[in-house]
Chains A and B, each alone.
Chain A
Amino acid sequence: SFDLTQPPSVSVSPGQTARITCSGNVLPKQYAYWYQQKPGQSPVLVIYKDDERPSNIPERFSGSSSGTIVTLTITGVQAEDEADYFCQSADPTGFWVFGGGTKLTVL
């Protein structure tokens, strides 16, 4: 298997830009996915295949990839964006792994 590493926490003020990173050796070869999870709720997909955004997700959410690091960027953070964020990827055999999660705090 493999590991995906995320910072435990990120804090930003409303209107600022939040960047959450996820690093792993598999990421140059496999797509990354990002999920938002609010307390007591199921995860919600916010970015798929590194940088694609589902149609129901606000445009302020974007994803990027560079080598072994993928980044979730939230431009113009709003209070409602406070949540846990998890990255995800897979090895070619179909075995999935999640990062440890990042708690985004909106100050």
Chain B
Amino acid sequence: EVQLVESGGGLVQPGGSLRLSCEVSGLTFSRFWMSWVRQAPGKGLEWVANMNGDGSETHYVDSVKGRFTISRDNANNSLYLQMSNLRPEDTGVYYCAREGGGFDWGQGTPVTVSS
């Protein structure tokens, strides 16, 4: 059974930074593209970024380009999202997801950007 467990969310001031982590088990992690998806309170899903299996290719939604960086550690089956210069509109639950015939989702970690 695939399991994805996010951590690292919390309260941060505008302009601050945060690093999210996602530990993955139950699959050969290095074989899969991985994504981060967020959901603002009471809103829909927004895809944020993804990375291929060996870390050589990434994509970002325009609103986070230059501020967020996705990375992975295949030796430790982990995915990361480094978020900097955070804005109030970045507030939401951040999900880690495994790509492949649809997404498998973690439980999410909440991020609140507020002064």
Contacts and interface: CB of A to CB of B under 8 A. Distances in A.
Interface of A: 1, 33, 35, 37, 42-45, 48-49, 52, 54, 84, 86, 88, 93-101
A48 B35 contact: no
A97 B35 CA distance: 12
A32 to B, nearest CB: 10
B47 A43 contact: no
Given A43-B95, A45-B104, 8 more contacts: A33-B103, A43-B103, A44-B105, A54-B102, A86-B44, A88-B103, A94-B50, A95-B59
B103 to A, nearest CB: 7
Specify which of B46, B57, B103, B104 lies most central, judged by the most chain A CB atoms within 10 Å of its CB: B103
B24 to A, nearest CB: 14
Place the interface of chain B in its size category. 20 to 34
Contacts, number: 55
A101 B45 contact: yes
Contact of B45 (A43, A48, A49, A52): A43
Contacts of B46: 98
Given A1-B62, A101-B44, A42 B102 contact: no
A96 B102 contact: no
30 contacts: A1-B61, A35-B45, A35-B102, A35-B103, A37-B45, A42-B95, A42-B108, A43-B95, A45-B102, A48-B101, A48-B102, A49-B101, A84-B44, A86-B45, A88-B102, A88-B103, A94-B33, A94-B50, A94-B57, A95-B59, A96-B35, A96-B47, A96-B50, A98-B37, A98-B45, A98-B46, A98-B47, A99-B44, A100-B44, A101-B44
Interface in B42-89: 44-47, 50, 52, 57, 59, 61-62
